[in-house]
Every structure is written in C-alpha cells, then in structure tokens.
Amino acid sequence: MRISLAWRNSESEFFCARQFGAAKSKLTVSAIIVAAGGGVRLGSDAPKAFVKIAGRTMLSYSLAAVAQVSSFGELILTVPEGFENAARAEVAAAGLGIPVKITPGGTERQDSVRIALGLTSSESELVVVHDAARPLATPAIFQACIDAAARAGGAIAAIPVADTLKRVVDSDRAIAATVARAGLWQAQTPQAFRRELLVEAHRRAVAQGIVATDDADLVERAGVRVEVVEGSTANIKITTPSDLAIVEAIIAAWTAGKG
C-alpha cells in the first residue's frame, strides 16, 4: 500500500489519496471539519484546533475518527489562514486514505461551513459537518448520523438535557421562568444532511441574512425533517480552559482503562 500526496489548483487545496487495489466506485459522503476558530478564550496563542491535548493537537482526534468511518469519500478542512501547512502535516499523520481539501475558513463558523460546502464533490449525496472543538466524537456517532440522515434528510448528534433550565432577564439576572426540560436535547456535532438540502439552506441564509449557531437550524427553517441520534456526554465542546481540563481527564481515564 502506498500513499500519494499532491497539491493542485491553489495552496488552499491539498489532496491525500491512499491507493488501494481498486478505487471507490462512487463518492457518497463528504466530511467537513470546521477548525478555523481562534484560541483566545482558551488563553492560547495558537488557534483552538492546534492546541495540544495529551500530547496531540485537538484537530488530530477528529481526523482519527473520520479515518475510521468507511462511508467517507472525501474531507474538506477549514483552518485559520496561514495554518494550511500545519493542517497538511496533521492530515498526513492521520493517514485518512481519502482526498482532502484544506482551505482558510471564514470570519464566522457559518461562513467556514459555506466555504467548505462549496468544495464538496457534486457526486456526494450526504455531507457531515463536525467541529474540531469536539475532539471526542466517536466513529460510531459519525456513522449513526450518516445512517439517520440518509433516511430522514438530516440528523444531528445530541444528548437529552439533564439540568433544570432557567430563563433569565439579562439586565439584572433575575429568573423569569423555569423551562421544562422534557423533550429538550442539547445539540452537538457531527451533523449530517443530504448535500442538496444543506447547500440550499446556506444559499437561503446568505440571501436572507440568516445567522444560526448550527447547520441544523438552517436546514430546519426549510421544513426538512432532522432527527437526533444519541451523542455522548464526553463529546463536549472545548471553549474554556476548564473544558480542556475535562477532556484531558477523560482521555487519561480512557488511556488508563486500556492499559
């Protein structure tokens, strides 16, 4: 087995192809990893996806998960401008065995997804979007989202809300109401959709000036059925140093358990 690496079109696109005895007959699922965020709230000079966790970059964990999902036919990776070479090194180390395109992200997450979506193959039937800031998403969660989206049109990883929720008046932080948690789920990534639905949802968002915190919101606005699949409490989004410490503790516990 040999690995071939080639650049083409521009410095923002990198293709990594592992050559097998026979090529895939058809590309059906594209993965997008959004890794263009800064590390300011983590107190890091490096972009968030390149912060080290247990000796590895945050990005490397998501790449490793994608590498274990046989459904994927390509990966599009958005990174901060100037970090393309660092991303190429991470991709090469991950040994994904599928074509990979690396591109600078946009100002906001939604912009980054739209940019990446424009680089997905027109042959792809499904697109899976994942935040590199969630390094502990498992291959099983990715596959569950793919399977559900193929059936319903859209699917996201999520967990049932466990805490009591309060609606608070921002001006004085007074509790205005207690929100019943029954039927409420906390959204995560990965999130998977039929490609044409996600492309249209982002086109509509630009035309109407819609800003959403996740892709499911954009797709839901079009009346598309989006299902939830059981995520994991370990699949937390790293935003603060305490989040980073929690993930490091989880990884340490997993590593000890395997020892």
Kindly indicate the confidence band of residue 3, based on its pLDDT and cuts at 50, 70 and 90: very low
Is residue 184 predicted with pLDDT exceeding 80? yes
Banded model confidence at residue 27, pLDDT cuts 50, 70, 90: low
Residue 94, pLDDT above cutoff 90:
yes
| Rounded distance between C-alpha atoms, residue 1 and residue 12, angstroms | 27
| DSSP assignment letter at 187 | E
Q: Give mean pLDDT, residues 4-33.
A: 51
Domain at 249, CATH number:
3.90.550.10
Q: How many domains does the chain have?
A: 1
- The pLDDT tens digits of the residues spanning 127-141 come to 999 999 999 999 999
Cα–Cα distance between 14 and 100 in angstroms, integer? 6
Give the pLDDT band (50/70/90) at residue 15: very low
> In sequence order, which residues have a C-beta less than 8 Å from that of residue 234 and are 6 or more positions away?
136, 250
CA proximity to 43, closest of 244, 250, 235 = 244
Give pLDDT tens digits for 37-81. 887 888 888 899 999 999 999 999 999 999 999 999 999 999 999
Query: Which pLDDT value is given to residue 259?
Result: 64
Render pLDDT for 220-247 as a digit per residue (tens, 0 to 9): 999 999 999 999 999 999 999 999 999 9
6 - beta bridge partners? 15
Q: What is the mean pLDDT of the chain?
A: 89
The Cα 152–Cα 224 span in angstroms is: 8
Confirm if 248 and 238 have CB atoms less than 8 A apart: no
Note down the domain range covering 60. Answer: 2-258
Instruction: Give pTM, 2 decimals.
Output: 0.89
How far, in Å, are 8, 24, 82, 146, 206 from residue 99 at the CA level? Answer: 12, 11, 21, 19, 28
Q: How far apart are CA 109 and CA 36, in angstroms?
A: 8
pLDDT band at 7 (very low <50, low <70, confident <90, very high): very low
Beta strands in 27-71 (DSSP E): 29-34, 52-53, 56-57
Q: Strands of the chain (E only): list them.
A: 2-7, 14-19, 29-34, 52-53, 56-57, 72-79, 100-104, 126-131, 154-160, 165-169, 174-179, 185-194, 226-230
Q: Give SS3 for 93.
A: helix
Instruction: Say what the pLDDT of residue 41 is.
Output: 80
